[in-house]
Amino acid sequence: MDGHASAVRPAPVEIRGLGYAYGEGELRRPVLRDIDLTIRPGEIVLLTGPSGSGKTTLLTLIGALRAMQEGSCRVLGQELMGASEAQRVQLRRQIGFIFQQHNLLGFLTAQQNVAMAIELDPRTTEAGRLERATAMLAAVGLGDRGASLPSELSGGQRQRVAVARALAGEPGLILADEPTAALDRQSGGEVVRLLRELAKRRGVPILLVTHDPRILDLADRIVSMEDGRIVPTKQAEGVPAA
């Protein structure tokens, strides 16, 4: 595909020997061990594995939402091992997050929720922000729902607003944690297909944590975790062999 470009552009995510433990002293419990993972430019990677295997912990470390303890994790050119809180805040602004529960603000309209992601860019005026938010909503098929509050939208529509918000800030990376968990089969599939299409068009890489076997075929690559380690991916049930 874009093999040449991938070879010259730095990997958006480059992890080596990452380890992480919760608790201290006798209560210390390692949950990630010796993780190596590279996400290449524009690549869509699904992270899967049993409950408690460490997927969310890894995602929050990559997203600079918690401090590193061991190893190296370079995200969008920023080394996170030893990074300051200010450096982590700066990096988080370059990442689009999508969570299981859409995390939209209930008192803001769909358009305002999306515009919020653009808020921090000083080059953009308020009118420009709202215009861009509307364009992003149109891209997720909600061009006519900008004035709706989250409570007036279906679960699938809310998650599409979350997709629009994640992309509106023109992120260098998207991190999604179980984005289809609260959705029925059809809307879950639609949301992820849409996310994939929009990200591919913009060349934005995605790391998506999921238990959902129905969306595994949308990945460029599937990474499996077990007991805090990355393990060779087994053929998922119901997914035809490539």
Ligand X SMILES: Nc1ncnc2c1ncn2[C@@H]1O[C@H](COP(=O)(O)OP(=O)(O)OP(=O)(O)O)[C@@H](O)[C@H]1O
| Contact residues: ligand X, CB under 6 A | 22, 31, 49, 51-57
CB nearer ligand X, residue 43 or residue 177: 177
Quote the tokens at residue 13: 């995510």
CB nearer ligand X, residue 31 or residue 182: 31
CB nearer ligand X, residue 56 or residue 159: 56
Q: What is the Cα–Cα distance from 212 to 177, expressed in whole angstroms?
A: 11
Query: How many CB atoms within 10 Å of residue 79?
Result: 13
Smallest separation (angstroms) from ligand X to the CB of 175: 13
Q: Are 164 and 142 in contact (CB under 8 A)?
A: yes
Q: Which helix (H) or strand (E) holds 128?
A: helix 126-139
Smallest separation (angstroms) from ligand X to the CB of 165: 22
Smallest separation (angstroms) from ligand X to the CB of 54: 4
* Bridge partner residues of 37 (DSSP): 15
* Bridge partner residues of 97 (DSSP): 175
CB nearer ligand X, residue 71 or residue 172: 71
Smallest separation (angstroms) from ligand X to the CB of 55: 4
